Amino acid sequence: MKWRRLVRPRVGMGIPELVVSLLVMGIIGIAAIKMFISQARFADLQHKRRLARSVSRTPINLLLSEMRMADNIGGVAAASDASGASSITVRVPIAMGLVCGQAGGETVLSMTSAGAATCAAANITTLPGGRVVSVTPLLPAPASIGTPAFLYQRVRFSFAASTMLPGRRGLWRTLEATGATEEVAAPFDSVSRFRFYRNSNDTADVVVPPLDEISGVELVLTGASEQAGFGKTAPEAAPLRTAVFFVNRLN
């Protein structure tokens, strides 16, 4: 008796199974693409916001260190609340010396090589490495010998068109005596500006009060990213607000 091995025909994938498989793979692929795009958007958003925050934080130390030295009387020399071009000019002390006396229409100050006749006559010895300077016009009375005297410079901080990023706004620092100017940071959103505290008011206003009534300044620094976020048309913004009050303010 002969045995025969029965060979069953192989069953292949039919069209219905193929269609279902392609449909399932398509759904999985679309879900994976959506998840990838979502993660890319989130990572890009966080990156743009970090850049915007760094713009806000960059000038803080410079602004606070110079504005905190402004005197309570005459510390603010000028201020503007013009939309998009807010600015403030402060008188910042840069050196201190002792009055040696007055000669030839000038006041002679010893700045902390020896030698100026006026200082020597007043028994004021300038320390090695120090300087003797003459300033005009004469200091008002009482500028008697030995009176401490400060030298000031006028520094203007202003929001204006950026040169680092054309078409955007930057924060500028200008020395009015020399005209030397530098762009401190950019870009900033258009809402960035200086707001002013008046006397004992506990809220700041964009309207500039009389200069002798300004008791402090609120810094509204809203940094922006250089480019718009993924899928967006506007740059990301990071608001930062802080305030500085002038020393020795009595009211």
What mean pLDDT do residues 32-44 have?
A: 85
- Given a cut of 70, whether residue 78 has pLDDT beyond it is yes
30, exposed or middle or buried, with CB in 10 Å at 0-12, 13-18, 19+?
Answer: exposed
What confidence score (pLDDT) does residue 215 get? Answer: 87
What confidence score (pLDDT) does residue 87 get? Answer: 92
Degrees, nearest 5: CA angle 151-154-159: 155
- Residue 34 Cα distances to 39, 42, 228, angstroms: 9, 12, 21
pTM for this predicted structure: 0.73
Q: How confident is the model at residue 88 (pLDDT cuts 50, 70, 90)?
A: very high
What confidence score (pLDDT) does residue 24 get? Answer: 86
Q: Which residue has the higher pLDDT, 14 or 171?
A: 171
What mean pLDDT do residues 78-106 have?
A: 81
- Given a cut of 60, whether residue 27 has pLDDT beyond it is yes
What mean pLDDT do residues 2-23 have?
A: 69
Q: pLDDT by residue (tens digit) across 17-26?
A: 778 888 888 8
Domain boundaries, the chain: 56-245
Q: How confident is the model at residue 246 (pLDDT cuts 50, 70, 90)?
A: confident
What mean pLDDT do residues 203-218 have?
A: 89
What mean pLDDT do residues 78-103 have?
A: 82
What confidence score (pLDDT) does residue 115 get? Answer: 41
Beta carbons within 10 angstroms of residue 79's beta carbon: 18
Q: How confident is the model at residue 114 (pLDDT cuts 50, 70, 90)?
A: very low
Beta carbons within 10 angstroms of residue 190's beta carbon: 13
